[in-house]
Amino acid sequence: MVPDYRKTTTVHYKQVLAGILVEEQQRVFGLLRNPDLTEEEKQQLRRPIRVCGVVRNTGEPGGGPFIVREKDGTKSYQILESSQIADKSLMARSTHFNPVDLVCSLRDENGKPYHLPDFIDPETGFISHKSKDGKELLALELPGLWNGAMAKWNTLFVEVPVSTFNPVKTVNDLLRPEHQPANR
């Protein structure tokens, strides 16, 4: 949510992310034609792709991009919320913040849509703090868009300028300079 005069940079970087996605998708589809690929390698490449624009960590609340060691010993790029990380010093040392933008490839090399439930980690979840009618509550959040629901996607993180990140998490955030009209 930003005034129109601030959208030029944001639109430009959305186009950059889309271009990176197209290039990566073409590269992957080319690799899939390689007869020397093992079945395991082919399966690793036959996944939806997401390109995530991330910004330098400026201390905003939320999670960020991390490399996760999977149960089978492989590593994957994931977006984790702070409540998913036991060692809070990792969050404090993280250099980048949650995706500002996502650009996604939803079709395979034959143009067929991926069956997206196949790429969810159903075991991903975390406890978050909520409130209702002034009462503090704990909520179990199941795989969300950033984390478990895209856990088995092939992921690239791309740094974008912090000026493309204009969060509104509370009504007071609308008072920040980046949400004000140009003539103020």
- pLDDT digit string, tens, across residues 79-121: 887 777 878 788 778 888 877 788 999 999 999 999 999 998 8
Distance CA 163, CA 2 (A): 10
For the stretch 78-89, pLDDT in tens is: 888 777 787 878
pTM (2 decimals)?
A: 0.82
Write the burial class of residue 96 (CB in 10 Å: 0-12 exposed, 13-18 middle, 19+ buried). middle
Q: Are 96 and 30 in contact (CB under 8 A)?
A: no
Q: Are 141 and 125 in contact (CB under 8 A)?
A: yes
Name the helix (H) or strand (E) containing 20. helix 7-32
